[in-house]
Structure 1
Amino acid sequence: MDDRNMESSSSILPDESNDHSKSIIHIDVDCFYAQVEMVRKPELQSLPLGIQQKNIVVTSNYEARKYGIRKCMLVTDALKVCPNLKLVNGEDLHDYRAASNKIFTVLQSWKCPVEKLGMDENFIDVTNLVQEKLKTVNITAITVSGNVFSEPTLECICGCHARLKIASQIASEMRNKIYDELGYTTCAGIAHNKLLAKLICPFKKPNDQTTIFPEHGASFMSTLQNVRSIPSIGSKTMETLVTHKIITVSDLQMVPLEILKKHFSGDMAVRLKNLSIGVDNTPVKQTGRPQSIGLEDSFKTVSVKSEVEEKFSALLQRLLILVREDGRIPVSLRVTLRKKDVKRLSSHRESRQCQVSASIFTINNGTLTVTDAGQQKLMSIIMRLFNKLINLSKPFHLTLVGLAFTKFQERMTGRGSIVNYLMNDISVQSVLNIQNDCDTSASSMDYSAVSPSSSTTTDLSDAEVEPSPKKPKKVTWIAKRRCLSKEEVASPSKLKVGELRLNSRELEKVSELRLSSRDRSLTPRASPAKDNLSDTSDTMKDIAEGGNCDNCPSYVDKEVFNALPDEMQQELKAMWKNPSSSEMVPRSSPRTMNKGKPNSILKYFVPHK
């Protein structure tokens, strides 16, 4: 492309297009699935290896590629060109996910933002790390590690050449550490933005890296033969461009902005122009825990309910392994089906989801587990959602089933966790207005059982929250606050819970006892419909009736004490029996009650000032 056309393209770019301040590394694992299998079984390394899913070879090692094995090749065709091809079933992605997470953990050791792109690719923003290294190195002595797309002729006034050279050395360190610790070879791209770093990464595959400097971005992009090669351009955008004879990236560079604005919005037209010459200002976003964990199984067709149930059962077993490794407690389940329309010879997806009780999942020795009864309950929920999606009175044909947990709650563990005291026996929806009447200030604490994390739904239909057919009664127990004078505060155990909303069938029995108490009032409250979404009636533990409070101090309401979980009762009894062994609250000031023992239950029931 001549200078005149380049000037025309550059003139439409925003001011920030000349920002070279970032240093971005893109790391891609060579033939990822195949490498995972070769690391697990070293005897496969010298053999032509293909990873099979259904009747497709999804990827292969470089030895197999010498014979002409390509991605997504039919198994029958692959065996024709390479009869000695060794095939490994790769439908279970567990080992691949585990390997991906290990690589991600290694990259995080550099304390830089790391963004995962699929299982085998990662972006790393090493800008700050490069700035620190610049303070301790001789700029004139810095050299590029690996390959360079094109050697620079003039030094950029912003100093980006030196920064990218240091980034290339960091990329080499990362790749070496991944190989030394995990055994995987990788390739890397180093640039001042994500677009160029990703596209230059496979320039010298496998097991190598390439650096590209900002002034060569446009010339490199012009070598791409299809606009679809640009990651941000999807199939529909490509179709529109091809319709107007814009096929290569060079074509996109040459087309006037005004022409693009006739077919795209103004912002989209400018973005397409920017991408065509290698300008991309999207940041590297630190990858957190996934918003959903799901699995799918595709097949030619299934038309019998029992077969669908078998496939869901197999998916659930694999999904529970992933949830156990994640550690969070699922509270929402989504079922996805892909239906085949025989008349239209097409297929479409539909999904339904509903909340599930967190009590189905338990933690034993720090590991999330589900009992056989819990798995049966999950299967009944899955099949109920299936029945809502399929009219069993009519023939159906499915080509895919999927399961996903889409919302999670973080269960805090350890001695200092309120969960230890409340989650074992009762489900606490909220704890509100906890205060001591001796202090005029008020405080409140909200405890939400379900975290408000959002879930991403790729299905065409809207996700639906399914109400539970069983709607357990909920009783609100409101304990009147007992006024304590400063002289009476002999023990923090005098503090009362201001309000507990307990979700259990047994609370009806407890409420009868509360009505006979002189110091307590019971207030029934109608539960909103939205509170009854989850099936909890069969999963709550029973609250023990009665109890022994013969040794309780005189100021303690025995009926209230007996309604508390066993863990609370034991701790309070121990405090009353041996006051000197616990950290007592000083009598001088109610404000000092906040300074209780760090792992004591008291800190959850004392207002924070």
Structure 2
Amino acid sequence: MDTSISVYNENDSEHSRCIIHMDVDCFYAQVEMLRKPMLRNVPLGIQQKNIVVTSNYEARKYGVQKCMLVSDALKVCPNLTLVNGEDLHDYRTASSKIFTALLGWKCPVEKLGMDENFIDVTNLIQEKLKTMNETSVTLTGHIYNEPSIECPCGCHNRLRIASQIASEMRKKVYDELGFTTCTGIAHNKLLAKLICPLHKPNDQTTIFPEHATSFMLSLTSVRSIPSIGTKTTEALISQKIITVRDLQETPLEELKKHFSSDMAVRLKALSLGEDSTPVKQSGKPLSIGLEDSFKTVSVKSEVEDKFSALLQRLLVLVREDGRIPVSLRVTLRKKDAKRLSSHRESRQSQISPSIFSLTNGVLTVTDAGQQKLLAIAMRLFNKLIDLTKPFHLTLVGLAFTKFQERMTGRSSIVNYLMNDISVQSVLNLSNDCDTSATSMDYSAVSPSSSTTTDHSDGEVEPSPKKPKKVNWIAKRRCLAKEEVASPSKLKVGELRLNSKELEKVSELRLNSRDRSLTPRASPARENMSDASDSMKDVVEDGACNVCPSYVDKEVFSALPDDMQQELKAMWKNPSSSAGVTRSSPRNVNKPKSNSIRKYFVPHK
């Protein structure tokens, strides 16, 4: 399936987008009902610890609500069937299948949790309009208030087409995967999400732009607006801004007194149903992790058992993901009597990708590899907890936080290794131009390298090389007039003097004329004095009769003739060779048309 994503270039119209928000009805419960059809017609609750995290609509008829205590749920619905939903494996698998199905429309799809997705169908609608002859399109599903007049920008027709596409998406998800869904259709993400549950379950609703402000007034608390969290709500309530109407009627300048300018503008826009946030195509998660909460654990051996159980489940998720982890993070929630609350702390370590291997196309970890990962987790635990003192934990978490793709294309690890082979073949040429690889100065970051809290277990992959640079240097060596070993980049760098260095040398020469013999204060001053004196005292040598004392004669003799002549001319008359004067700072970094510096910089 071709899942390439088209990107829409917005025009000036604020109604230009068409966004669909899809929400799977009672997602966890539907997954269980699809696995066990006998659960479809009975009150069903999904239990995590002592909480009913969600329930099907049969149970909701009895009054079972989301995040209700199990004891309270059984009181209102004694015949409630409970299924343990702490293992999220089946839910993640179902979520991935729905996401993949939506990619078939070749539109940007952004995941929001496991059961919600935003889809930007703007481009798809533009393409459909090119082939449609109808001036008016029939809307599918419900509508929030009929428009009195057509919007001149044509957004009404575009949203009607979007409602038809939303219906097609819902049908495909149901026919192929068995899930019922509801969708909201609007010109921005905020309205699409808020309008979506209006006709739950298994239905859809469209809202036109002109009804945004009136629809927002139907919300009671400002907390009902997505992206307004608890702290912002408390700050608004402290200013007696409680309802959405209060927020709409509060002047922007008044909001700016209590919030940053950007935040005030954002809050005002949200209250009016305005949102310019784009739909961002989702990729694979940045981290894969699991957590286990409990009343309290105070023994190290119990913590190790918890980590071991989490690791077994985590490796299943990584195997399905297919990427190779290169970093492991441990999270702990400590119960502190002094703080009267729990707080989280985490630490991570780089891990070796060699722990993981591909067996018949499947990512696997040996028993020894699992023991090594568990040992890393416990080492991080020891760094977070002072075992000389009592500790009380209410949660432990384990997560892989950085990955590298296992691919076979140009950017694959295999390709990096092949590049290494090609580089070595260049460096190991058996001729007079050969130089050992150690003399090369390449710095490249490994794909798995990262900054972590703890590098105690970090093992670096072979760094990708730069074949083009190697080939150019190899050509330079073999084109030398004398077939001798070329100097390393480091030593050539010592020979090369830039204009600022020459300016210093010239200054030292002038100062040295009037300088009397005095005790040397430091090694640095001694070196500078030697450098200035060497410009006057020429060392007689067969290879170079004008070389300063700090120049390696063997290295100098390895240079091509034209480079030797240029360096000699520079040393004989530094000021004229540099082509600069102290009174013209603008020309300091400007190289001479045929300078030694130009020789070392490859032509682009």
- TM-score norm. by structure 1 comes to 0.70
The alpha-carbon deviation at position 18 of structure 1 amounts to 6.0
Shift of the 151–434 alpha-carbon distance from structure 1 to 2, 3 Å rule, reads farther
Aligned to 2:131, what secondary structure does the other structure show?
Answer: coil
Which residue is equivalent to 2:166? 171
Which residue is equivalent to 1:209? 204
Which residue is equivalent to 1:518? none
Shift of the 153–405 alpha-carbon distance from structure 1 to 2, 3 Å rule, reads same
> AA paired with 1:344?
R
Which residue is equivalent to 1:494? none
Residue 354 (structure 2) pairs with residue 359 (structure 1): yes
Q: 1:323 aligns with which of 315, 318, 321?
A: 318
- Contact (CA 8 Å) 1:432, 1:445: kept in 2 or not? no
Aligned to 2:105, what secondary structure does the other structure show?
Answer: coil
Which residue is equivalent to 2:456? 467
Superimposed CA distance per residue, residues 373-420 of structure 1 (whole angstroms, 9 cap, x where no aligned partner): 000000111100100111111110000001111111112248996628
Aligned to 1:190, what secondary structure does the other structure show?
Answer: strand
Q: 2:134 aligns with which of 121, 139, 147?
A: 139
Which residue is equivalent to 1:199? 194
> AA paired with 1:317?
Q
Superimposed CA distance per residue, residues 24-49 of structure 1 (whole angstroms, 9 cap, x where no aligned partner): 00000000000000011111000000
Shift of the 130–416 alpha-carbon distance from structure 1 to 2, 3 Å rule, reads closer
**C-alpha distance in 2, partners of 1:415/1:168?**
41
**C-alpha distance in 1, partners of 2:12/2:415?**
54
The alpha-carbon deviation at position 431 of structure 1 amounts to 5.8
> AA paired with 2:278?
P
Shift of the 164–429 alpha-carbon distance from structure 1 to 2, 3 Å rule, reads farther
Shift of the 349–415 alpha-carbon distance from structure 1 to 2, 3 Å rule, reads closer
Matches within 5 A, 1:217-232: 217-232=212-227
Residue 396 (structure 2) pairs with residue 401 (structure 1): yes
The alpha-carbon deviation at position 449 of structure 1 amounts to 4.1
The alpha-carbon deviation at position 258 of structure 1 amounts to 1.6
Could you tell me which runs of 5 or more consecutive residues in structure 2 were left unpaired when the two chains were aligned.
1-10, 434-439, 480-487, 490-603
Which residue is equivalent to 2:82? 87
Which residue is equivalent to 2:58? 63
Aligned to 1:135, what secondary structure does the other structure show?
Answer: helix
Superimposed CA distance per residue, residues 414-442 of structure 1 (whole angstroms, 9 cap, x where no aligned partner): 8996628949xxx9799689578999xxx
**C-alpha distance in 1, partners of 2:253/2:478?**
79
Which residue is equivalent to 1:33? 28
**C-alpha distance in 1, partners of 2:105/2:88?**
27
Shift of the 446–241 alpha-carbon distance from structure 1 to 2, 3 Å rule, reads same
Matches within 5 A, 1:171-570: 171-413=166-408, 419=414, 422=417, 449-451=446-448, 464-468=453-457
- Contact (CA 8 Å) 1:360, 1:370: kept in 2 or not? yes
> AA paired with 2:222?
V
Superimposed CA distance per residue, residues 286-344 of structure 1 (whole angstroms, 9 cap, x where no aligned partner): 00111111111111110011110011001001111111111111111110100000233
> AA paired with 2:365?
V
Aligned to 1:25, what secondary structure does the other structure show?
Answer: strand
The alpha-carbon deviation at position 447 of structure 1 amounts to 7.4
> AA paired with 2:102?
L
- Contact (CA 8 Å) 2:13, 2:153: kept in 1 or not? no
- Contact (CA 8 Å) 2:110, 2:118: kept in 1 or not? yes
Shift of the 102–446 alpha-carbon distance from structure 1 to 2, 3 Å rule, reads farther
**C-alpha distance in 2, partners of 1:126/1:118?**
20
Shift of the 381–19 alpha-carbon distance from structure 1 to 2, 3 Å rule, reads same
> AA paired with 1:297?
D
Aligned to 1:58, what secondary structure does the other structure show?
Answer: strand
- Contact (CA 8 Å) 1:433, 1:444: kept in 2 or not? no
> AA paired with 2:373?
L
**C-alpha distance in 2, partners of 1:272/1:430?**
57
- Contact (CA 8 Å) 2:45, 2:81: kept in 1 or not? yes
- Contact (CA 8 Å) 2:120, 2:279: kept in 1 or not? yes
Identity within the alignment, %: 72
**C-alpha distance in 2, partners of 1:361/1:280?**
44
Aligned to 1:59, what secondary structure does the other structure show?
Answer: strand
Aligned to 2:347, what secondary structure does the other structure show?
Answer: strand
> AA paired with 1:137?
M
**C-alpha distance in 2, partners of 1:309/1:281?**
47
- Contact (CA 8 Å) 2:109, 2:281: kept in 1 or not? yes
- Contact (CA 8 Å) 2:376, 2:457: kept in 1 or not? no
The alpha-carbon deviation at position 118 of structure 1 amounts to 0.4
Which residue is equivalent to 1:578? none
**C-alpha distance in 2, partners of 1:392/1:76?**
37
- Contact (CA 8 Å) 2:406, 2:413: kept in 1 or not? no
Could you tell me which runs of 5 or more consecutive residues in structure 1 were left unpaired when the two chains were aligned.
1-15, 455-462, 487-497, 500-608
Which residue is equivalent to 1:523? none
For the pair shown, the structure with the greater C-alpha radius of gyration is 2
The alpha-carbon deviation at position 483 of structure 1 amounts to 11
**C-alpha distance in 2, partners of 1:483/1:181?**
62
**C-alpha distance in 1, partners of 2:460/2:200?**
59
The answer to which structure has the higher helix fraction is 2
> AA paired with 1:450?
P
**C-alpha distance in 2, partners of 1:310/1:233?**
39
- Contact (CA 8 Å) 2:405, 2:412: kept in 1 or not? no
> AA paired with 1:126?
V
Matches within 5 A, 1:43-122: 43-122=38-117
- Contact (CA 8 Å) 1:430, 1:447: kept in 2 or not? no
Which residue is equivalent to 2:570? none
> AA paired with 1:223?
S
The alpha-carbon deviation at position 451 of structure 1 amounts to 4.4
Which residue is equivalent to 2:118? 123
Residue 144 (structure 2) pairs with residue 149 (structure 1): yes
Aligned to 2:62, what secondary structure does the other structure show?
Answer: coil
- Contact (CA 8 Å) 2:352, 2:460: kept in 1 or not? no
- Contact (CA 8 Å) 2:307, 2:396: kept in 1 or not? yes
- Contact (CA 8 Å) 1:148, 1:211: kept in 2 or not? yes
> AA paired with 1:92?
D
Aligned length: 457
Shift of the 246–356 alpha-carbon distance from structure 1 to 2, 3 Å rule, reads same
Aligned to 1:34, what secondary structure does the other structure show?
Answer: helix
Shift of the 444–433 alpha-carbon distance from structure 1 to 2, 3 Å rule, reads farther
Q: 2:154 aligns with which of 130, 134, 159?
A: 159
The alpha-carbon deviation at position 137 of structure 1 amounts to 2.2
- Contact (CA 8 Å) 2:350, 2:459: kept in 1 or not? no
Shift of the 356–429 alpha-carbon distance from structure 1 to 2, 3 Å rule, reads farther
The alpha-carbon deviation at position 259 of structure 1 amounts to 1.2
- Contact (CA 8 Å) 1:429, 1:448: kept in 2 or not? no
- Contact (CA 8 Å) 1:225, 1:248: kept in 2 or not? yes
> AA paired with 1:51?
I
Which residue is equivalent to 2:17? 22
Aligned to 1:337, what secondary structure does the other structure show?
Answer: strand
